[in-house]
Structure formats: structure tokens, C-alpha cells
Structure 1
Amino acid sequence: MNIKKHIPNIITLLNLACGCIAIIFISDFKFDLALYFVCLGIFFDFFDGFFARLFKVSSPLGLQLDSLADMVTSGVVPGFAMVYMISGEYTHVPIQGYLPYLGFIITLGACYRLANFNIDTRQTDSFIGLPTPANALFILSLPLVMADNQNTQFVEILFNKWTLIGISIVSAYIMNAEIPLFSLKVKDFTFKKNALQILFLATSVLFLLLFRYLGIPMIIIFYVLLSVVNNMINKK
């Protein structure tokens, strides 16, 4: 029995397990623990591919498992979190009716993005549209931004139901938009070829140190904007 060929799939299933646990924490209003488990799931998501390439055991099964696990951790979880945020339960001002279900627009957008990613040959070395893990981090950070922020007016604007629905729609769009985004993969250790990645990582650390949880959505927005600027420079 070749144990090596099963290691990447086991790591992928750990990603899925993290997503399932995150759902439980969201239903119990423990958004901080949900975010931590999503981060752990994303960690596993990175290393399943790493070990598949290392052991040369990439397979169609692994590809399908990876997408299914991502669908839960980076698709269902952020959509579920958004439903709770729109519902107002977290802010103790519950909204009645079916309006909160619009949060699942995020899940639908993630599903389409993951299915398209599997058949899009252009996304081998970079991304087109925001990757679902990055989007999940953006969404899961929002309730923690609210809890961590002392500016009442800012919180009221951000957690207005229509603002959250707007974020859901933009989130689904940006995951599937025809916007090339640079990859964080390091192919060699020369500064010149990795200057963009180094700039992004250094800025990300700075954002986290200065703004704590607010730094997470700022990092995602910066990633998209930096990619757009980089695309414009490359075209010239």
C-alpha cells in the first residue's frame, strides 16, 4: 500500500473538517474561533497541493476533493456567517423574514468560481478573480472588526443590513470577475522576481500590527488594488 498517495487527500479532508467545525462555531456566535478554523483550513488547503507535487501523486480525485473541501470552508462558511450578520442576531437587533438568506449569494459565487477554476487553464500561475479563501477571510473578519472597533458610527454603517447585502453581492462578483491577480507562490529566491509578493507580505504584516482584525479586510482590498495596478503597469 502506497501511503504517500493518500497523504494529500487526508490533508484536504482536514481542510473540510475545519470548515465543518467553523460552521458550528458560527451558529454559537463564536466568530473568532470560526475565523481561526477557516485559517487552519486554508493552511491545509495550501499544503495538500504542496505534498501532492512533492510526492508526485496528483490525481483527478485529489482535484475534486480539493474543490469540495474549499466549497465548505471557503464557500458555505462565509455565506453562513453573512446570513447571521444580516439577520442581526449578532448585534441583538434581529431582522425578520427571508432577507438574511441573501448572504448565501457568497456561497453561490464561491461555487461558481471553484467550478470555473477547475476548467480554466489560465489560472495555473496566477488567479482570475479573487480566490475563495481570501474572500472567506474577508467575510469572517467583519464581525470581529465590529467587536474590536470603538467607533459606533463606523460599526452602524458597516453592519447595516443593506451594506452587508451589498458586500455579499460585490463579494460574489469579485470572485468571478475577469481581474488577473498575482499569485503568492515563490518560484525562486531572487528579489526582482518576487518584489511584488514581498511588498504585499510586508504591507500585510504592517496592516495586522496596526489595525488588528481590521487589517484583514484591508489586506484583501490591497491585494486586489495592487494586482490591478500591476496589470496596468505590465500592459504599458
Structure 2
Amino acid sequence: MKKHVPNFITLLNVLSGCIASVFAVLNQLEFAALFVFLGIFCDFFDGLAARLLNVKSALGVQLDSLADMITSGLVPGIVMFQLLTMAQKGGWNLDFFGVHTEVGLVPLLGFLITMASAYRLANFNVDENQVNSFLGLPTPANALLILSLPLILIYQNNDILNSIILNEWFLLALTLLSSYLLNSRIELFALKFENYSFKDNAVKYLFLIGSLVLLLTMKFLAIPVIILFYILASLLSKKPSP
């Protein structure tokens, strides 16, 4: 029975991603972000449960990536589509079975994030070297980056930040940067602890403490800063090759 516990938690990630997708399509981005956060929470604990119960399996690995594809791949693409639609006026006037709609060409580029996420997850499943570290930005971290944008708009409501986030060129540049980071060869540390020694995990502890301080002081604006912090900390902590 215990072997099904991690997979059930992963399926909760799937459910959270499905609900987030619905809210994202309806342009209720605040609620989409909430369910993405819940999905990522489940994504963290399914692996933890598998290790604690000693029931890791090949099925669990595949199921985990499929869940991530929805929560951390599809949803960020829809959210970027919505943000680009908000930033750009005008589009195609189309009729689908008598239903009139307007679809912008540029906003569809937001789905480059979904495509890049799919490629990364497939590549991750066949790469046996990404155990204690990652090559490229993990999809949950990328999802947090994208989903932070509407939360900054809603909760921090700063004219300067709003003008930047709703700038079409900024969003397109971020889409390309996000797609690149997902599949880059940049080595990033994984937040997995083989032991709890500060000496062995100094970078991870400092990253977690720094992230908490940033969240308390900068609120949702802290999320992009934390992602940048994560990349820089990984680069600086990388041991030089002999």
C-alpha cells in the first residue's frame, strides 16, 4: 500500500495543474498561481515521501515529469500568453463554430515556454547525470518565475513595475530567456540534503535563509530575485575542474 503514497501525491500535482490551467485560461491568474504553488508543494513532497518510504520507482519518475508538464509547463505558457495579450492590442479575428474570438499572433509565442519545458522534462528523464544537481533551470523554478509576474501586478501595484511587466518586448525577452535557461547547460544545485551538516550544505542553507529574508522584505517581487540568486549561487559554488 505504501508504494502508492508518492504516486497519489504526484496525482494531486496533476489535479492542481489542471485547475490552474482552467483559471489561467479564464485569465484568473491569481488563482492559477495559487494552484501552481500547491502543485509544486506536492512535487516536492512526492519525492520526499518516496525516499522516506523507500519506494522510488521508474513509474514514479515518469509520472512526476508528466505532472510537471501540466503544472510547470502548460500553465506558465498560458500565463505568458495572457500577459502578452494584455500588453498587446489587436489580433486575428477568428470564428470557431460560430463563436467569434480575437487571437493575437505575438501572444502565442508565450507557448515557447511550454515547448521548452516539454523538451527539458523529456531530456531530464533520459539523463542519468542529473541526480545531485540540475543542468538548466528546473521547470518548477521557471514556473514560479513566470507566475510571479501577475502577482506583482496584483499585489504590489507599482506604476514602474507595471509598465515593465506589461511591456511587450520585456515579456518576449523573458520568454526567450526562460526557454533558454530551461535547456541550458548551466549546472545548478538541487535542494536535496544527504545530511544536515552546515559545513556540507552551507550554500543551500544560505540560499534558503536569503530567500526567506527576500520574501519577507520584497514580497512577490522577491521571486525573480531569488531565481537570479539561485543561478548566481550555483555558479559561484561550483568547484573548479582539476
Deviations 1:29-88 (A, max 9, x none): 332222121111111111212222222322222121111110000000000100000011
Counterpart for residue 61 of structure 1: 59
Counterpart for residue 207 of structure 1: 214
Instruction: Report the Cα offset of residue 150 of structure 1.
Output: 4.3
Deviations 1:106-162 (A, max 9, x none): 001100110011111111111110000000000001111122334323321232112
Alignment: residue pair count:
230
Structure 2 letter corresponding to 1:193 = D
Counterpart for residue 145 of structure 1: 152
Paired residue for 1:111, among 110, 113, 118?
A: 118
> SS of the residue aligned with 2:131?
coil
Counterpart for residue 175 of structure 1: 182
Counterpart for residue 139 of structure 2: 132
CA distance in 2, matches of 1:58, 1:113: 21
Structure 1 gaps of 5+ residues are none
1:1-236 alignment to 2 at 5 Å?
Answer: 3-88=1-86, 94-96=89-91, 97-231=104-238, 234-235=240-241
Structure 2 letter corresponding to 1:151 = N
**Using a 3 Å threshold, how does the CA distance of structure 1 residues 235 and 10 change in structure 2: closer, same or farther?**
same
The answer to whether the Cα contact below 8 Å between 1:86 and 1:95 also exists between their aligned partners in 2 is: no
CA distance in 1, matches of 2:90, 2:218: 30
CA distance in 2, matches of 1:134, 1:78: 11
> SS of the residue aligned with 1:123?
coil
Structure 2 gaps of 5+ residues are 92-103
Structure 2 letter corresponding to 1:40 = L
CA distance in 1, matches of 2:233, 2:203: 9
> SS of the residue aligned with 1:192?
coil
More helix by share: 1
User: For the aligned residues, what is the CA RMSD?
Assistant: 1.6
CA distance in 1, matches of 2:90, 2:153: 18
Query: TM (normalized to structure 2)?
Result: 0.90
> SS of the residue aligned with 2:200?
helix
Instruction: Report the Cα offset of residue 173 of structure 1.
Output: 0.5
